[in-house]
């Protein structure tokens, strides 16, 4: 991998990690369209450490409060009813599904799941799911001629059951094209949470999963065509760009719909199927060189 490739892929990672359009799919597609080698699951996992560092800084006050309350609740029974302490447990519980399924399907994630036909399918299907969830949220928020405005849930109402459902939604993102934020936000909206609450918990929930995955894949960073230097460079780029994107996205969702992302996902998925069907793009483009 050249330094230019690592710069572009780091930029793509930072731009797409927090948007519900799938960063792993866009890394795969960028390489395929440019005629580069597939950067691989290890490169993706490690560069995601950069974007998660952006989450740690952006939500530093929330995280510090949650971690402090959680540790105090281990020895102080009175703290166990504290919302921040409970959030610490809910992040741990919600991280279990992706940890278990990530290890169970590691070979598939690094191989068959990177087929561009599967990515096209997941782009379209999750896009439709996100669109439905977004419409339901908008209906609750605005009401209608014969419908009153319905109050949506905040994170203070999050319990173990919903935490696990969020966790299984996050685990769906093991398949490129699904999108970690897209799946968890869709799940949250369908369960009746506000856009802001669903997005906030989605980003907090991703921290242990992404950091663990990145550390686990460190041993493979220097294998094949991907070397340490370009990987670290891409991770730094992803951090800088990712911080700007997450700040913008958290403001965007307070007043805007997810429909632009829905339309983008569906059109991109259709375009992929057209290009593959016409023989312009191979469903395994770049894989053989990896």
Q: pLDDT at residue 288 above 50?
A: no
Predicted confidence at residue 287, as pLDDT, reads 59
Question: Is residue 264 classed exposed, middle or buried when 0-12, 13-18 and 19+ CB atoms within 10 A define those classes?
Answer: middle
Q: pLDDT at residue 224 above 60?
A: no
- Residue 118 CB partners (closer than 8 Å, separation 6+): 112, 175, 176, 177
Q: Cβ–Cβ contacts within 10 Å for residue 148, how many?
A: 8
Average pLDDT rounded to a whole number, residues 29-46: 83
**Coil, strand or helix at 229:** helix
Predicted confidence at residue 110, as pLDDT, reads 66
Predicted confidence at residue 223, as pLDDT, reads 58
Predicted confidence at residue 290, as pLDDT, reads 36
The model's confidence at residue 150, banded by pLDDT at 50, 70 and 90, is confident
Predicted confidence at residue 117, as pLDDT, reads 93
Q: Hey, what are 262's tokens?
A: 């829905």
Whole-model pTM: value is 0.86
Mean pLDDT value across the chain: 88
Question: Using an 8 Å Cβ cutoff, are 43 and 213 in contact?
Answer: no
Average pLDDT rounded to a whole number, residues 163-173: 94
Q: Of 27, 54, 25, 8, give the one whose Cα is nearest residue 245.
A: 54
The model's confidence at residue 4, banded by pLDDT at 50, 70 and 90, is very high
Average pLDDT rounded to a whole number, residues 70-88: 92
Q: pLDDT at residue 184 above 50?
A: yes
For the CA atoms of the chain, what is the radius of gyration?
Answer: 19
- DSSP of 149-164: --PPB-GGG--HHHHH
The model's confidence at residue 289, banded by pLDDT at 50, 70 and 90, is very low
Percentage of the residues of the chain whose pLDDT score is greater than 70: 94
Total residue length of the chain: 290
Predicted confidence at residue 213, as pLDDT, reads 79
Question: Using an 8 Å Cβ cutoff, are 238 and 7 in contact?
Answer: no
Q: pLDDT at residue 193 above 90?
A: yes
Q: pLDDT at residue 43 above 90?
A: no
Predicted confidence at residue 48, as pLDDT, reads 86
Residue spans of alpha helices (H) in the chain: 3-16, 23-34, 40-58, 60-75, 83-104, 106-110, 116-142, 160-171, 180-190, 195-217, 228-252, 259-277
The alpha carbon dihedral of 91, 96, 101, 104 has a sign of: positive
């Amino acid at each position: 991998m050249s330094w230019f490739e690592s710069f572009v892929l780091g930029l793509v990672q930072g731009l797409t990690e927090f948007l519900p359009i799938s960063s792993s799919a866009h890394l795969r597609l960028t390489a395929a369209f440019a005629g580069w080698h597939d950067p691989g699951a290890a490169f993706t996992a490690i560069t995601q450490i950069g974007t998660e560092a952006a989450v740690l800084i952006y939500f530093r006050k929330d995280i510090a409060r949650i971690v402090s309350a959680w540790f105090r609740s281990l020895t102080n029974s009175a703290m166990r009813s504290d919302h921040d302490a409970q959030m610490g447990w809910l992040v741990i519980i919600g991280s279990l599904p992706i940890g278990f399924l990530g290890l169970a399907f590691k070979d598939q994630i690094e191989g068959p799941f990177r087929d561009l036909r599967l990515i096209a399918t997941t782009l379209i299907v999750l896009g439709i799911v996100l669109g439905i969830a977004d419409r339901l949220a908008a209906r609750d928020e605005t009401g209608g001629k014969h419908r009153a405005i319905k109050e949506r849930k905040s994170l203070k109402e999050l319990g173990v059951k919903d935490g696990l459902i969020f966790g299984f939604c996050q685990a769906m993102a093991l398949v490129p094209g699904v999108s970690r934020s897209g799946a968890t936000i869709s799940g949250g909206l369908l369960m009746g949470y506000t856009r802001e609450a669903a997005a906030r918990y989605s980003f907090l929930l991703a921290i242990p999963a992404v950091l663990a995955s990145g550390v686990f894949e460190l041993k493979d960073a220097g294998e094949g065509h991907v070397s340490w230097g370009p990987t670290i460079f891409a991770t730094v780029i992803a951090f800088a760009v990712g911080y700007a994107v997450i700040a913008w996205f958290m403001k965007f969702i307070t007043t805007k719909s997810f429909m632009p992302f829905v339309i983008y996902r569906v059109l991109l998925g259709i375009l992929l199927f057209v290009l593959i069907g016409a023989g312009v793009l191979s469903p395994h483009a770049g894989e053989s060189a990896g």
